[in-house]
Structure 1
Amino acid sequence: MTLLDRPAPLPSVQHVPAGGHCFELPRLTAMLRHALPRFVEGVIAPVAVFYAALVLLGLNGALVAAVTWVYGGIAWRYLRTGSVPGMLMLAGLGVTVRAGLAAATHSPVIYFLQPTLGTLLVSMAFLASVPLGRPLAQKLATDMVPMPEAFLEHARVRRFFLRISLLWSMVFLTNALFSLWMLFNESIATFLWVRTGVVTLLGALAVAVSLYGFRRCLHHVNGEPVPA
């Protein structure tokens, strides 16, 4: 990911008054409208910008284009909101350092190695959150869609988020290992497009499984009687 702006809550969340555990997931179209622009901005566009600059301007031009893309996003947010999230500034600093190291070593591998290792760390974070009883998938889900505490405390909901955290741990681990193999065994052009396509497909399948599982969980939980 290039831009790490925190997502805004999704609209149209409905739940019962305090004491109940019923919850309704926002419509799929609303979630897609929320997620798609961020996916294009954070995944597809940086790859396209880097590859186009690599073909036209060479490695150094591609590195400059990548850094320009990130700081352009920072400037756009500042003009729109008057402030820039701290995480986004750290992302800009990280990309600058990576680009500087890649330019100094004349190796694009250096530029892509750090985020790949970061993906491996994210996988470990998801995995570690399960035995701790604080599933990371639940934290990320509630950041995007506010959910009532009574719903989150339901045993079936807790089990769901533990299992989904394991799923996403495996997804990120596969992503990292495949990316490392591609990075050290294929050209940068092949790495950019094949890796992006495989990771996108893998992520889409994981999202589909997560949504399907969550809807099944909702069906069972919402079908139970609400405590008096």
Structure 2
Amino acid sequence: MSSHRTPALVARAESETAADEPHRPSLVAVIQRVSMSLLIAVIVPAVVFYSVFVLAGIWPAIGAALAWSYGAIAWRAATGRRVSGLLVLAAILLTGRTALSVVADSTWLYFLQPIISDGLVAALFLLSLASTRPMVARLAGDFYPMDHELASRPRVRRLFWHLTVLWALLGLAKATMTLWLLQSQSLDTFVLVKSVATLSINVLAAVATIGLAALVARKEGLIGAPRLVAAGARA
């Protein structure tokens, strides 16, 4: 009997092997998912707010940012796409800011609230370290398919702990910076500097988060790669 397998048998064997392997998205796919979540929940609302602020003033800008957040949630739900926890959290915080500002008729209060909310979110992240699921672990499913076995791996658990600490410290730093800007700068300068600084900090933190996560994912074999089939291997 010939020791060579027919191309049909080879293809069938590869198909069965691929079916048995769990789906692991590539690093590019993970980065795209993270980037899209940040774009929709953080970057676009900030750009919308500043653009409308320059063109029409503060109150239209506040309404436009809120409308974007709820419009994004409605669009993703209507099209069957998953609504990320980050987008929902951003919409909730923005709703609270807008409601209190309208009731108090105070734009100053609108800008004060992110200081309070950043501090509260940072405290929530720090408090979650005492639980079995730090806050980053609760949000990780938005960016990578998670199950109990994966989330329980020692390296992954340490990653969640370290990233939770990172984002908690980031929240405290942003709150401190925003408070100083609010007290020392004019409204126009405050909005411009805060928008640029906050966006830059969030992007840098996201890059650091992706880098640390990718390092752990490589060690755990969680980052998928395209199959490279050499023609000579079948000879």
What displacement does 1:150 show?
2.0
Aligned equivalents of 1:64 and 1:216: distance in 2? 40
Aligned equivalents of 2:69 and 2:110: distance in 1? 14
Shift of the 43–193 alpha-carbon distance from structure 1 to 2, 3 Å rule, reads farther
**Equivalent of residue 100 in structure 1, options 93, 99, 102:** 102
Q: Are the counterparts in 2 of residues 71 and 92 from structure 1 also a CA contact under 8 Å?
A: no
**Does 1:174 pair with 2:168?**
no
Aligned equivalents of 1:36 and 1:219: distance in 2? 20
User: Match of 1:208?
Assistant: 207
Q: Are the counterparts in 1 of residues 66 and 95 from structure 2 also a CA contact under 8 Å?
A: no
- Between the two structures, name the one with larger relative contact order (CA 8 Å, sep ≥ 6): 1
Report matched runs for 1:89-168 at 5 Å: 93-101=95-103, 105=105, 107-168=106-167
Between 187-196 and 27-36, report the one with greater CA deviation: 27-36
Give RMSD over aligned pairs: 3.6
Q: TM-score, normalised by structure 1?
A: 0.68
User: Match of 2:182?
Assistant: 183
Aligned equivalents of 1:48 and 1:16: distance in 2? 44
User: Match of 1:27?
Assistant: 26
State the SS of the aligned residue for 1:43: helix
Aligned equivalents of 1:203 and 1:93: distance in 2? 21
Unmatched segments (≥5 aa) in structure 2: 1-17, 223-235
User: Quick check: which has more Rg, 1 or 2?
Assistant: 2
Q: TM-score, normalised by structure 2?
A: 0.66
Q: Are the counterparts in 2 of residues 50 and 66 from structure 1 also a CA contact under 8 Å?
A: yes
Aligned equivalents of 1:28 and 1:94: distance in 2? 35
Aligned length: 199
Report matched runs for 1:65-76 at 5 Å: 65-70=64-69, 72-73=71-72, 76=75
Between 193-202 and 120-129, report the one with greater CA deviation: 193-202
Aligned equivalents of 2:196 and 2:44: distance in 1? 13
Aligned equivalents of 1:127 and 1:180: distance in 2? 21
Query: What percent identity do the matched residue pairs reach?
Result: 32
Q: Which amino acid aligns with 1:94?
A: G
